[in-house]
């Protein structure tokens, strides 16, 4: 059997696995469908188990697609109990996810009439500030901030990965030794002027 072509791996630089969590009916599948396929449907039935989508994006010239993880905590701005349950979801993450997982708070259904809104934007922002995470209000229906949420968490994960990579790979600096003793004396004199 022939090996897969080497090019198959070169289609991306990072594979980022994101998890959308929150109460039932807050619009997690709609956000996922809007971002991955650019579509929206009102005829969703409750997702049982796991829905899985892939979208390859380009960020700072790198194709994003490597084992990292981020979590979108989603609530419905018209459903206060879904917002109140975010604290339970965060506790769950703290118990079961790795410490350095990137998190982002998402208030979905922001397109709804203000008379139906149960959670003010300021309340969502205050909760995000309390946990030190970013906050967005979105609408899967109108596509409000959907791209921004996914690109923001992808950028944060990419930054964390490159910070981790640079710490994990100690760089070796080779200094060519001068050949004569006189040159060594000159080098010592030059470095003394820098206050060492």
**Domains contained in the chain, number:** 1
Instruction: Identify whether 173 is part of a domain.
Output: no
Average pLDDT over residues 100-114: 95
Q: Is residue 179 part of a domain?
A: no
Residue 185 lies in a domain: no
Q: Say which CATH number the domain at 33 has.
A: 3.40.50.300
Residue 184, number of CB atoms within 10 A of its CB: 12
Q: Is residue 181 part of a domain?
A: no
pTM above 0.95, yes or no: no
Q: Is residue 196 part of a domain?
A: no
Question: Comparing 15-19, 51-55, 192-196, which segment has the lowest mean pLDDT?
Answer: 192-196
Q: What range does the domain containing 77 cover? A: 10-166
CA distance between the termini of the chain: 63
28 or 44, which is more confident?
28
Residue in 14, 105, 19 with CA at minimum distance from that of residue 57: 14
The partner residues of 54 in beta bridges, in order of sequence, read none
Task: Indicate whether 176 belongs to any domain.
Answer: no
* 152 belongs to a structural domain: yes
User: In this structure, is residue 140 part of a structural domain?
Assistant: yes
């Amino acid at each position: 059997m022939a090996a897969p072509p080497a090019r198959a791996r070169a289609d991306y630089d990072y594979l980022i696995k994101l998890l959308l969590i929150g109460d039932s009916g807050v619009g997690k599948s709609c956000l996922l469908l809007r971002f991955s396929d650019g579509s929206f449907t009102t005829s969703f039935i409750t997702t049982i188990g796991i829905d899985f989508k892939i979208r390859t994006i380009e960020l700072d010239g790198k194709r994003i697609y490597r084992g990292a993880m981020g979590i979108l905590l989603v609530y419905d701005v018209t459903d206060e109990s879904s917002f109140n349950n975010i604290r339970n979801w965060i506790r769950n993450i703290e118990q079961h996810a790795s410490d350095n997982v990137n998190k982002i708070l998402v208030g979905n259904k922001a397109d709804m009439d203000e008379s139906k809104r149960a959670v003010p934007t300021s309340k969502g922002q205050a909760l995000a500030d309390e946990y030190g995470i970013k906050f967005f209000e979105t609408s899967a229906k109108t596509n409000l901030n959907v791209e921004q949420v996914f690109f923001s968490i992808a950028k944060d994960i990419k930054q964390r990965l490159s910070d981790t990579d640079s710490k994990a790979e100690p760089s070796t600096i080779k200094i060519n030794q001068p050949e004569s003793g006189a040159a060594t004396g000159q080098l010592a004199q030059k470095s003394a002027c820098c206050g060492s």
